[in-house]
Amino acid sequence: MGKVQTQDIRNIVLLGHGGCGKTSIAEAALYLTKATDRLGKPSDGNTVCDYDPEEIKRGFSLSAAMAPVMWNDTKINFIDTPGYLDFEGEVVQAIRVADSALISVDAKAGVEVGTKLAWDNATDAGIPKAFFINKFDDKEANFDNVFNQLKEKFGNMVCPLIIPVETNSNRFVHLATMKELTYAPDGMFTENDISAEDRVVAEKYHEALMESVAETSDELMEKYFAGEEISKAEVLEAIKNGLLSGTIAPIICGSAVKLWGIASLLNVSLASFPAFTNNEYERVIENGEETETKIDVNGTTSIFVFKTVSDPFVGKMSFFKVMNGELRRDMTLKNLRTEGTEKFAHFYVMRGKKQTEVDTLCCGDIGMIPKLSGTETNDTLSVGNALPYAPTVYPESVFTMAFSPKAKGDEDKISQGINRLLEEDKTLKYENNTEVKQILISGVGDIHLDVVISKLKSRYNTDVEMSKPKIAYRETIKKKVQVEGKHKKQSGGSGQYGHVKITFAPGEDLGLTFTQSVVGGNVPKNYYPAVEKGLLEAMQKGVLAGFPVVNLAADLFDGSYHPVDSNEISFKLAAILAYKAGLAQAGPVILEPVGLLKVRIPTDMMGDVIGDINKRRGRILGMNADESKKGYSIVEAEVPKSEMLDYAIIMRAISGGLGRYTFEFVRYEEVPGMVSQKIIEAAQKAE
């Protein structure tokens, strides 16, 4: 792959629903351009992009992978992404460095949830969008249906460009030239005049294309209404301008596994898809605010690290895009976050897992460098002073499980493995929760965590067990009581004697509010700290289910002592006896953590969401239209944390993956009686 210039590079991210053929499109492009000598299939586990053992085992993509091809002296960097929602983190980081999005759609299934999410993600990132309707070798493929669905969902900017003549046929029509394209088994095509029988369909969709093209400029609009012919060159230029301005999303049809439409896709990519510098500015962060900086291909070298892979054999691999200037061998760049320096002695272009070392990478190109010590995903590295590039914003890690090693002594290996995976996966969170004595791991969904566990086993040879996370309940009291505690022990020689009378009441502060109102020296002052220490120690376990006690006020108002047998330990034990007696009488209750749930959901699904929240003992606080997203609403509610453990899975089932939510702890509240009884019974069983 020879040296190319910025204007001759296309960075295209492949998006779409799981199973719609994104990896197959990349594979077909690689094979057609002779970058590979065989056409791999995900089901056979032999594709270039799905090279991780987990991907081969499962038969679908789990991470973003590079598939660069050369076509007519232009380099097209396809970035293949996963279609499953649990791996959206990989999708958004690929979109961050892409200059356009190609959304793959199944010609039989049509618009699916993943199609909508792909469109939304690309729209939010402000990059141009096009469609590749795939699998026209399927007898049940239906272009009319899929086109109408796309038009209905995404509006008039969706326009046909290369369409099938009939289902399960290698013949297509290029609507800009009104020529019939017949694809040979090697993926190349011949152009012929359209037959009379196919002209009716072709002209119908040609009209739809011309309408979309005419809307891109006043000049073309005048031509269109005057009935003048718009040339192929003008159509392709209009599509290029429309893509860049976000007013056109062209459709190309084909079958990746049969190589139909792939050569045409590559031609359209060259003619109409934007290069990095077509958008003159790049997003940066200045004083905590997002702003823009002008891209200069000859300026100061700056790169943005968008992805990290922790390979057990190669080590840490940092994937980056050259955002400004040119990267040359042996340059030293400064990390703007750490202010440390990194030397770029060896860097590579990746094709799947294959590394090809290069001496230079021009502005807009994508590469990989191994073993950068202090550099992480989202870091900016630059030769001189520069502003850091706007980071990728990752989806929330909302699904949490507890996990523990199956074999004793594996803790260190697991910790090491998890730390490597945390470097690689910014949607993964890890916490050693000392209160519930569990190691907690959070991800986007259940499949995400299942893959994490598999990677720990295959890469680091550690087996772990998953379980539901424990809830950090609390206990407190509701009544005021007066009790006494007496510790008396005589066993030859000196004895032990401590006697306290304490008033217990609900306290205003979170912990223990300890006061003394002893008169006449019945309890000497030097024993007060021992009483307080005994109470603090006892508060670690409540009297109902053994949870820590909060909001407790204790007033030491009387007692007695023995001039010989009294000591600090005696008064500490007396205080513990008073605590156990007093709390049982003081209306003890269990408290549970309650959080604020914010759900963003398509408005027509709001009823299902509210019904589900009510089942979870939630209180709806408000419902409002989402001003940032048409057709969506935001529901706010307060819900007990114990009811939210499976919410990520249920939310996906309710919304088909379109819903998003956040959940943040707010306060502790009293648990209702029936629920409290279940918690107590569960705690007694666990003892």
Distances (CA, A) of 178 to 163, 190, 220, 329: 11, 13, 18, 48
pLDDT band at 49 (very low <50, low <70, confident <90, very high): confident
**Residue 395 near residue 427 (C-beta atoms within 8 A):** yes
Specify the pLDDT at position 519: 87
Where does residue 646 fall: left (phi above 0), alpha (psi -120 to 50 degrees), or beta otherwise?
Answer: alpha
Q: Of 501, 100, 72, give the one whose Cα is nearest residue 266.
A: 72
Does residue 525 have a pLDDT over 90?
Answer: yes
Please name the residues in contact with 393: beta carbons below 8 A apart, sequence gap of 6 or more: 92
Could you give phi then psi for residue 270, rounded to 5 degrees? -65, -45
pLDDT band at 53 (very low <50, low <70, confident <90, very high): confident
Specify the pLDDT at position 632: 92
Distances (CA, A) of 356 to 1, 6, 351, 530: 9, 19, 8, 71
Rounded CA-CA distance 279/245 in Å is 10
Mean model confidence pLDDT for the chain: 92
Structure tokens at 281: 């500015």
Does residue 189 have a pLDDT over 80?
Answer: yes
**Residue 64 near residue 82 (C-beta atoms within 8 A):** yes
Rounded CA-CA distance 279/273 in Å is 12
Query: Cα dihedral angle (268, 272, 273, 279), rounded to 10 degrees?
Result: 170
pLDDT digits (tens, 9 = 90+) for 76-114: 999 999 988 889 999 999 999 999 999 999 999 999 999
Distances (CA, A) of 516 to 521, 527, 528, 559, 578: 11, 11, 8, 11, 15
Mean pLDDT confidence for 307-324: 90
User: At CA 558, angle to CA 556 and CA 560, rounded to 5?
Assistant: 120
Cα separation of the two ends of the chain: 66
Rounded CA-CA distance 198/540 in Å is 81
Where does residue 317 fall: left (phi above 0), alpha (psi -120 to 50 degrees), or beta otherwise?
Answer: beta
Chain position carrying tokens 């791991």: 441
- Tell me what percent of the residues of the chain surpass a pLDDT of 90: 73
**What domains are there in the chain, each with its CATH number?**
6-278 (3.40.50.300), 281-382 (2.40.30.10), 399-467 (3.30.70.870), 475-586 (3.30.230.10), 592-686 (3.30.70.240)
Does residue 258 have a pLDDT over 50?
Answer: yes
Does residue 172 have a pLDDT over 70?
Answer: yes
Strand partners, 335: 381
- Tell me what percent of the residues of the chain surpass a pLDDT of 70: 99
**Strands, sheet with 512-516, edge to edge from the N-terminal-most edge strand:** 481-489, 496-506, 552-560, 512-516
Lowest mean pLDDT segment, chosen from 65-74, 86-95, 334-343, 415-424? 415-424
Mean pLDDT confidence for 248-255: 96
Specify the pLDDT at position 166: 85
pTM of the prediction? 0.89
Specify the pLDDT at position 195: 86
Mean pLDDT confidence for 581-609: 95
Comparison of pLDDT for 410 and 566, the residue scoring more: 566
Rounded CA-CA distance 461/684 in Å is 36
- What are the strands, taking DSSP E only, across 424-524? 429-433, 438-443, 464-467, 474-477, 481-489, 496-506, 512-516
Distances (CA, A) of 480 to 219, 304, 532, 673: 85, 62, 18, 20
Mean pLDDT confidence for 275-304: 94
In this structure, which amino acid lies at residue 447? Answer: I
Specify the pLDDT at position 1: 46
| Helix, strand, coil percentages in the chain from 3-state DSSP, rounded to 5 | 30, 35, 35
Mean pLDDT confidence for 617-632: 91
pLDDT digits (tens, 9 = 90+) for 125-151: 999 999 999 999 999 999 999 999 999
The counts of H helices and E strands in the chain are: 16, 35
pLDDT digits (tens, 9 = 90+) for 415-467: 888 888 999 999 999 988 888 888 899 999 999 999 999 988 888 888 888 99
Q: What is the 3-state secondary structure (H, E, C) of 493-509?
A: CCCEEEEEEEEEEECCC
Please name the residues in contact with 384: beta carbons below 8 A apart, sequence gap of 6 or more: 300
pLDDT digits (tens, 9 = 90+) for 281-290: 999 999 999 9
pLDDT digits (tens, 9 = 90+) for 1-26: 457 899 999 999 999 999 999 999 99
Structure tokens at 652: 């996906």
Rounded CA-CA distance 405/138 in Å is 47
Mean pLDDT confidence for 477-490: 94
Specify the pLDDT at position 493: 67
pLDDT band at 687 (very low <50, low <70, confident <90, very high): low
